[in-house]
Structure 1
């Protein structure tokens, strides 16, 4: 071993040339021979689609329909013919099955959206979300490009083009895309909206618990069923101010931190030949679609609005000729509603009858067998109620007291494509409460906690007809009942011929005007004169070359028909000013009808304990029935109050005579204030039945009466109502003035100042509420100016700053007058509580007049 490092280093240096030379010689490459070729670098994969057979292999399970659907293992592919690229498709997404979520049920719609698949650069297929806001009718006009440039449709998804199927026979190709991850994932078009997810506190999708259950293709639609699991957090208890976004407490979120839903999406091809539009007419109550039109030949933009309706067409030219001669014909495709097999069997026939009742209205439009209900067997597997080709009445196991009737329509024309009526089980509870409260004085069948099946079935039939009316396009007609003289509602012969309201689309419920001695037996709404006219308006076949031609024809028809029968009048459900258009209202005089209604309530109330009692049960049913009586009474108050400062709105075209807007007559307004004085401001002691109150509440009901009175005062003194009275009086000095209104109310509420009677507790509360209300008007902060407007029949009232109007002046004058009257009455007052009360109110007025 060498121990000297210097000697070792010398030896290594001496040997290094030899070592290096040996290494160089060893590393010298061999010359290539003819049999040894250099290795090739691997080729990069070619971009773009593969051969069709490489993507859609022999393992594919394929179904043909709108698109051909291929399933290979767990992957799904759409094969989209070139003929359908660029075509518009309506997507409708519904909950098929749902966890226990308050207010949410299987069968309800989540969203709908028009989409379009189109070819895109870099071998992509785009899915666009189509919006109908601004359109140009002529694609060859220069303005069409300007409209397109200002309305770019969002690209919702980009798919890789996996393959192209070439058809050498038809010369039509098809694009193949994979949609597995798209439908498994959470995308806005085919899932819950961001707002809904925020309410449910969904934190994101759990991919390992979300999957595609099935994708099925039919001739005009595709049905996609997915299971999606969302991570969810139960809402925490809130101790601060209420959040602007409400939250829902979902049991599954608390139990597992996740919520699983089954979601069904229908993709239905919009008609290749769009239906001819029927332009909206605000004299006939239809739901409507619309958009802004930019026309090359017009000098302004036009908001084009058209009615929503089903497409009914003759089967052939021979039938079309028959219909033109006045014969009834069957449509090529009737309107059919399938009754959900989940519906209890005993109610199915009544739901079906509610659909079939509309046949007579369609006959007036020239169609027979145009609409019908079909009871669907739970053994029938050929029809799925999630399939967009089928309309249905869905039955929900829900404690919600309601039903609803939506429809899905083509945004281009208003053509209704399908409808799913939602029917909640607990609507029967609501129907029972309504019927006992409004018909209990007349119909002995209503006087029990559980109605007989036959009566409940007829009630279900009426609501079914109403909801079907919505799904064939009809809106509520709150004005219909106002065309009937109140006294006719007590006439059995009139009712037998006309019914108590001309429209089942009214919220006229049951005939609460008829008295027990009148002999009126027919208390239900039914399809009436307005409904028949409205269906004829929308569904008759017209020969006009354009929708504009049809519009002129229909306008002439309306004017002629209305002259013969004013009961076809339509009163919108959205007008806040017109006392003729009100929910739950009957007859042409709200005061007289409400007097009759209260007269019946006074007959019902003393019997409630007997009618609602059940052995070994508490007084829950009595409490419920009493609250319904109070609610009905409050409805009457609302009906009457709307007459004060009311403005009639009667839509007209330029070829009709008369004003569109007219003030409610002065006599009617004074009659309304007088009614409120009698029925509200004079304590309604009939409601304070101790035999009932003592069984359902610890107090005597005085505060409840005071709240009703105070609410009535607040409504009477609403700033927009007071301003309307001022404006009407400025135009017509003989109309009901603001000073007259204040005087009439003060005289009614403070009558004891003239009679020198003692004031009881309820009246003292009312008088204090009156004083506080006037002081609040006098010292209200300045209101920001907000202009009122109307949008497609919906009137939005303007806010009014009372400091810039006569409201403050008149209010101050009446507070001063009241102050003088109180001072004069005090020396003559002997009742101690009344004296305390007057002194207290006097102090409040003085402070209110000079708040400093």
Structure 2
């Protein structure tokens, strides 16, 4: 957003060139003569297709007039790990054309730093203090008065989406753009009155050092051909009113520094991101809207998935109705004639990858105001198959002579409905809310809610929610309510949040929930239940029931027996997320994003009894009873059948080709202990133990040793699991004692626990006659000679539970 002062500045710069510009216009050919025989595309910015030379020529007749430039990736690579997905939105920026002599510059102003003022000199001082960016320089090749014609081909055939950088950052190879194999893509190069759309087919060559993710998806890793899209978009009019952000409301948004702000006020301005929505009559309780929000589901999604996507996305109409809107939100199937990258259409796109991966909701946002111009959801197609497989593992449904259990598909489609609603919520501007389990919000990450019926059988009938949550209704009302004129908006919004708090509706987002050393007792990913500890004990019961019935009935007749491992992985690790949630209660602190004067809880240390229950449940997850797989399961899983890939979705093995139950147990134990003995949690336990009568780090380490090193000895495979878990405990304590990110006292307590293990192991080694146990003890004593050499990394990772690849906030 340029100030009037900046326009005068540019006028002064341009004055010396006015004469030469007039001369230039006279010396250049006319646009009509230059474009003779070319196909004309009239619209927002008129352009021409030069068939003979394979070029796109662009007419520029507006200077110093801002528009939105967006690049995107309509055709992806297919690897979630690299992150170059079909339909991915890229950079979005305010730009304008500036003409200087024969050159036309595409300039991006610096909107991060502004001065919202009528004082031209003050605005100029800010603008000149921070750099701008010239994104491209064009040369006029023809002219009609002020209108010039430029060759836009090189601009459109560049790597605007940074495909080369994405591949390099993920260490998958060194590539470069090959101009000889890159051309405009005409089927999606179009023009409209308010937006101009270009697309290009780009080929990237190299690949001598191509990584496994590239080789997995490319027909030839020496040449990767994708498409990139460029959109020139007219900016919205001034009819949109920005809404100030509030940390308690759970919205994405924009921020910038306004140097015209009085010294006593916050210089950083924050506004939420939202679609424009207005009531025809804001004074009535329920009103129709001036213009509804419409989303379109990808017509490439098959049935019954397409219907599930439609159903889930339409849940949001419940929230808009709760906010007093009638017919304000619609979801339809994308017509065949519409380009999904067209900025005028909000999209729910169905994306295929080589592995299951994250889905996400992104938006094109006006960086001046926060207005959402286009919502764009990308849903990974393999997610539905993962849920179906989890249901197979839980139900063991394939019995001879019986039909396939319908509950599996019902559960998978229920998840797709929830996922569709979740990601669309992001494109409405709404953040994750991890303090909203029990279906209070679709913006939480849901784990299937599996119950045991009265007969003790697994019940999936209510695995996922079936509607929008109460928090979601509150969030939409906060973001989209159209108040009557004269309303004190800030006061009205504060009252809305206060009403929500009175109903127990609060907001905690990503940073707090994702931290492995996190402290909030209810902010977790993929958890269920009002109490994390109680739910963990329930999930362990479900897991035990599923493992008791695990057999060849978990795979289809005729399937290779080795595919039992695929189904076993999510069942054996079924408790992983609830374990992570429960760990946060140990050394837990409840808190809110309170603001001064709202009278809500600021911080509160969890009661010692609640922390103790959580610790007891955590210790159960590393017990031999939980970690040891029964012989009947192990014996049914042979080495991988020919033609079946070994993938990261399987257990890590140290036994060559054969199934390794010890490695599975080690990864699970390591997972639990990585949270329980996290340096942040350990340091917090020390600090809270000194301030309050609560659980201390000494309490945790003492009980940990009692339940492992000093517990009753097991037999057979369970004994090996027990030895192994004790070594993992030792590894984590040694790592904690050497971790400079932990407090001194946390390291001291870990060192004291190591001394306790050393004394116990020395004593037991002298008296035991069990050669295996003695070897275990002596190995531990040898390891403790040099604790500084122990790395704080995991020995073995669990197979992926969440979608594969690098998840980002705003994604699921």
Aligned mates of 1:139, 1:434 — CA distance in 2: 61
From 704, 711, 716, the equivalent of 2:676 is 716
Residue in structure 2 matched with residue 186 of structure 1 by the alignment: 158
Residue in structure 1 matched with residue 501 of structure 2 by the alignment: 562
From 263, 267, 271, the equivalent of 1:302 is 267
Q: Which has the higher contact order (CA 8 A, sep 6+)?
A: 2
From 278, 290, 313, the equivalent of 1:355 is 313
From 123, 139, 143, the equivalent of 2:122 is 143
* RMSD of aligned Cα (Å): 3.7
Q: Is the 8 A contact 2:143 2:149 kept in 1?
A: no
Aligned mates of 2:760, 2:175 — CA distance in 1: 63
Residue in structure 1 matched with residue 149 of structure 2 by the alignment: 177
SS at match of 1:95: strand
How far off its partner does 1:581 sit? Answer: 0.8
Alignment of 1:428-443 (within 5 A): 428-436=384-392
From 269, 275, 282, the equivalent of 2:240 is 275
Aligned mates of 2:621, 2:168 — CA distance in 1: 48
Q: 1:105 to 1:439 in 2, by over 3 A?
A: farther
Provide Cα deviations, 1:495-537, integer angstroms capped at 9, x if missing partner. xxxxx42111111232135545598943321311111111111
Is 2:325 aligned against 1:367?
yes
How far off its partner does 1:267 sit? Answer: 1.6
Alignment of 1:88-103 (within 5 A): 88-97=66-75
Is 2:700 aligned against 1:728?
no
Residue in structure 2 matched with residue 293 of structure 1 by the alignment: 258
Provide Cα deviations, 1:582-630, integer angstroms capped at 9, x if missing partner. 1111122211111111111222223232532333221244212210112
Is 2:439 aligned against 1:501?
yes
Is 2:287 aligned against 1:328?
yes
Alignment of 1:449-848 (within 5 A): 456-481=412-437, 500-513=438-451, 515-516=453-454, 521-525=461-465, 526-543=467-484, 550-563=489-502, 565-566=503-504, 568-575=505-512, 576=515, 577=518, 578-684=520-626, 687-696=628-637, 698-699=658-659, 701-732=661-692, 734-752=693-711, 760-778=719-737, 780=738, 783=740, 799-800=741-742, 802=743, 805-822=744-761, 829-842=768-781, 845=784
Aligned mates of 2:713, 2:225 — CA distance in 1: 70
Aligned mates of 1:845, 1:396 — CA distance in 2: 50
Residue in structure 2 matched with residue 12 of structure 1 by the alignment: none
SS at match of 1:608: coil
SS at match of 2:373: strand
Q: 1:226 to 1:679 in 2, by over 3 A?
A: closer
Aligned mates of 1:474, 1:502 — CA distance in 2: 14
How far off its partner does 1:223 sit? Answer: 0.7
SS at match of 1:760: helix
Aligned mates of 1:451, 1:200 — CA distance in 2: 44
SS at match of 2:444: coil
Alignment of 1:332-411 (within 5 A): 332-378=290-336, 381=337, 383-402=338-357, 403-411=359-367
Is 2:42 aligned against 1:64?
yes
Q: Is the 8 A contact 2:552 2:561 kept in 1?
A: no
Aligned mates of 2:445, 2:788 — CA distance in 1: 45
How far off its partner does 1:436 sit? Answer: 4.6
Q: 1:754 to 1:451 in 2, by over 3 A?
A: closer
TM-score by length of 2: 0.81
Provide Cα deviations, 1:416-452, integer angstroms capped at 9, x if missing partner. 11122223332221221344557889xxxx9959877
Is 2:30 aligned against 1:54?
yes
**Structure 1 unaligned blocks of 5 or more:** 1-43, 167-173, 239-245, 482-499, 784-798
How far off its partner does 1:106 sit? Answer: 6.7
How far off its partner does 1:552 sit? Answer: 3.5
How far off its partner does 1:835 sit? Answer: 4.4
Q: Is the 8 A contact 1:49 1:161 kept in 2?
A: no
Greater C-alpha radius of gyration: 1
Deviates more, 1:280-289 or 1:708-717: 708-717
TM-score by length of 1: 0.77
Provide Cα deviations, 1:221-251, integer angstroms capped at 9, x if missing partner. 101122333333342689xxxxxxx966664
From 183, 206, 224, the equivalent of 1:210 is 183
Deviates more, 1:432-441 or 1:201-210: 432-441
How far off its partner does 1:212 sit? Answer: 5.6
Q: Is the 8 A contact 2:396 2:555 kept in 1?
A: no
SS at match of 1:336: strand
How far off its partner does 1:127 sit? Answer: 0.3
Alignment of 1:25-64 (within 5 A): 47-50=23-26, 54-57=30-33, 59=37, 61-64=39-42
Q: 1:608 to 1:848 in 2, by over 3 A?
A: closer
**Structure 2 unaligned blocks of 5 or more:** 1-19, 639-657, 791-812
Q: Is the 8 A contact 2:377 2:427 kept in 1?
A: yes
Q: Is the 8 A contact 1:355 1:371 kept in 2?
A: no
Provide Cα deviations, 1:298-353, integer angstroms capped at 9, x if missing partner. 34652222221111123xxxx22xx3121231x23222222222222443222222
Aligned mates of 1:233, 1:822 — CA distance in 2: 53
Aligned mates of 2:214, 2:460 — CA distance in 1: 48
How far off its partner does 1:762 sit? Answer: 2.2
From 179, 202, 215, the equivalent of 1:228 is 202
Is 2:260 aligned against 1:260?
no
Aligned mates of 1:520, 1:630 — CA distance in 2: 18
